[in-house]
Amino acid sequence: MVKAKPYYAPGGLSVAYYDLITGADGRLRGDEDVYAGLAPAGGAILELGAGTGRLTSALAVRGFDVTGVDISPAMLAQAKARIADLAPDVRARIELRRGDMTALDLKRAFDLVICPFFTLAHVPAGAAWKNTFAVASRHLAPGALAAFHLPRLEIMRRPGPANPDLPVLDLATPDGRRLLLFVRERTFREGINRLDQVLEYAVADGGGRIVQRSPERLTYYVADPEPLAATAGLVLDRPPIDLGGVGDIFVFRRA
Ligand SMILES: C[S@@+](CC[C@H](N)C(=O)[O-])C[C@H]1O[C@@H](n2cnc3c(N)ncnc32)[C@H](O)[C@@H]1O
**What whole-number percentage of the chain has pLDDT above 90?**
97
Q: Which protein residue's CA is at the shortest distance from atom 10 of ligand 1?
A: 119
> How far apart are alpha carbons 11 and 148 in whole angstroms?
28
- Please work out whether the CB of residue 237 comes within 6 Å of at least one atom of ligand 1: no
Asked if residue 199 lies in contact with residue 215, where contact means CB atoms within 8 angstroms, the answer is yes
- Please work out whether the CB of residue 8 comes within 6 Å of at least one atom of ligand 1: yes
Give the pLDDT band (50/70/90) at residue 1: low
CA 51 to ligand 1 centroid distance, Å: 5
- Convert the pLDDT of each residue in 191-246 to its tens digit: 999 999 999 999 999 999 999 999 999 999 999 999 999 999 999 999 999 999 99
- Please work out whether the CB of residue 118 comes within 6 Å of at least one atom of ligand 1: yes
Question: Structure pTM?
Answer: 0.97
CA 61 to ligand 1 centroid distance, Å: 20
| pLDDT above 70 (res 126) | yes
How many Cα atoms occupy the beta-carbon half-sphere of 17 within 13 Å? Answer: 28
- Please work out whether the CB of residue 120 comes within 6 Å of at least one atom of ligand 1: no
Asked if residue 137 lies in contact with residue 146, where contact means CB atoms within 8 angstroms, the answer is yes
For the CA of 72, the closest atom of ligand 1 is 25
CA 209 to ligand 1 centroid distance, Å: 31
Asked if residue 148 lies in contact with residue 249, where contact means CB atoms within 8 angstroms, the answer is yes
- Position 157 scores a pLDDT of 96
- Please work out whether the CB of residue 50 comes within 6 Å of at least one atom of ligand 1: yes
CA 45 to ligand 1 centroid distance, Å: 16
- Please work out whether the CB of residue 102 comes within 6 Å of at least one atom of ligand 1: yes
What average pLDDT does this structure show over 163-168? Answer: 95
Give the pLDDT band (50/70/90) at residue 3: confident
For the CA of 149, the closest atom of ligand 1 is 8
- Convert the pLDDT of each residue in 43-73 to its tens digit: 999 999 999 999 999 999 999 999 999 999 9
CA 99 to ligand 1 centroid distance, Å: 10
How many Cα atoms occupy the beta-carbon half-sphere of 247 within 13 Å? Answer: 27
Q: Which protein residue's CA is at the shortest distance from atom 17 of ligand 1?
A: 71
